[in-house]
């Protein structure tokens, strides 16, 4: 039974109204209201991750740092995966400054480069025998269509292929663990483009490329949950958070919404909760503010079985899945 199923009916109705309104539900106001409603899912217990190891990608800024800090606050040993080691060191120092006892380890990897992902995972698995959770937070929004080292469209490489390849390579340490992919509510505006995962047709839009890759995460989650049947697989979206990505890529949106944007810790809340809460949440679902959400709000964005089969085939080929 999901946490949403045991909430009072009125609380569920208010929560759903917030979610469908978008503007209210995705902001800091929506989170504040939800926290005040009866049945808000309980926080993980203090020290819930003591003795456990967790991995956070894209951990040098924004939601990644907040996620790492939240997990460290639950006494986890947190492995920060970054592309820029200098920025990663700065992030680790900020966390230690606020949490002097935080146990942190820094690793370098370009999540969009599948060869580098496999290299990192092999190194990691030799040092960490048991991994409670991986939070795939690394994100990009290039202004032009950009390809990864292996020739994949970069948004798909960083948000889909890299996380899948990394999880596959870490199945040994992750056995019985959890996989959290940080998605985006922006995916609601896009259907599953399994016919063009490389964004080879049409005029390129950074926000569209980003949203398409996030849609791909959500639609593949149930398939991955079946493949990784010993793991808990979750996709979550943080709402509207004042992240460096928003500041750099969506300056007009930020100017209009800044008073109600979530801070990094509020945006990271559900990632931390999914990684730590007991018992483990249901697998293969899409989450926001600790509650499972529908994956489509409009019939036009619901994929057909043929679309899902094509997406699965693309993933198996591009990620080299056996």
Q: Burial code of 234-268, b = ≥16 C-beta within 10 A, e = fewer?
A: bbbbbbbbbbebbeebbeeebeebeeebbebbbbb
Domain boundaries, the chain: 51-318
Active-site residue, selected from the candidate residues 26, 188, 199, 210: 210
Q: What is the pLDDT of residues 124-162, one digit of tens each?
A: 999 999 999 999 999 999 999 999 999 999 999 999 999
Q: Is 199 an active-site residue? A: no
Q: Mind giving me the DSSP string for 151-203?
A: S-BHHHIIIIIHHHHHHHHTHHHHTT-EEEEE--GGGGG----TT-TT--SS-
Report pTM: 0.95
Q: Residue 267 pLDDT > 90, yes or no?
A: yes
Q: How many CA atoms lie within 13 A of 249 on its CB side?
A: 18
Q: Would you mind telling me the total number of residues written for the chain in this entry?
A: 322
Dihedral sign for Cα 70, 68, 128, 288, please: positive
Q: What is the pLDDT of residues 74-131, one digit of tens each?
A: 999 999 999 999 999 999 999 999 999 999 999 999 999 999 999 999 999 999 999 9
The CATH classification number of 51-318 equals: 3.40.50.720
Q: Residue 180 pLDDT > 70, yes or no?
A: yes
Dihedral sign for Cα 160, 198, 65, 272, please: negative
Looking only at the bridges linking them, the beta strands covering 285-288 and 133-136 are unpaired
Q: pLDDT class for 244, splitting at 50, 70, 90?
A: confident
């Amino acid at each position: 039974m999901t946490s949403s199923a045991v909430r009072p009916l009125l609380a569920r109705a208010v929560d759903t109204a917030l979610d469908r309104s978008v503007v209210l539900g995705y902001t800091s106001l929506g989170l504040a209201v939800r926290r005040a409603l009866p049945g808000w899912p309980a926080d993980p217990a203090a020290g819930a991750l003591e003795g456990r190891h967790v991995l956070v990608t894209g951990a040098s800024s924004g939601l990644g740092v907040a996620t790492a800090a939240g997990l460290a606050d639950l006494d986890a040993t947190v492995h920060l995966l970054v592309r820029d080691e200098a920025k990663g060191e700065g992030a680790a120092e900020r966390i230690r400054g606020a949490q002097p006892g935080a146990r942190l380890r820094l690793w370098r990897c370009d999540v969009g480069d599948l060869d580098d992902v496999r290299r990192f995972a092999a190194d990691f698995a030799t040092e960490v025998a048991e991994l409670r959770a991986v939070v795939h937070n690394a994100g990009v929004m290039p202004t032009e269509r950009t390809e990864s080292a292996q020739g994949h469209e970069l948004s798909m490489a960083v948000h889909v292929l890299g996380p899948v390849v990394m999880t596959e390579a870490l199945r040994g340490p992750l056995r019985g663990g959890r996989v959290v992919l940080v998605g985006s509510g922006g995916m609601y505006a896009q259907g599953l483009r399994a016919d063009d995962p490389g964004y080879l047709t049409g005029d390129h839009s950074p926000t569209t490329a980003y949203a398409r890759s996030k849609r791909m995460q959500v639609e593949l989650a149930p398939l991955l949950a079946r493949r990784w049947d010993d793991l808990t697989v979750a996709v979550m979206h943080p709402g509207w958070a004042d992240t460096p990505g928003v500041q750099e890529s969506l300056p007009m949106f930020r100017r209009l919404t800044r008073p109600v944007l979530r801070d990094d810790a509020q945006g990271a809340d559900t990632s931390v909760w999914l990684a730590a809460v007991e018992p483990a949440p249901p697998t293969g679902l899409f989450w926001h503010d600790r509650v499972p959400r529908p994956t489509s709000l409009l019939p036009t964005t619901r994929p057909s079985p043929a679309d899902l089969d094509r997406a699965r085939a693309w993933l198996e080929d591009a990620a080299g899945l056996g």
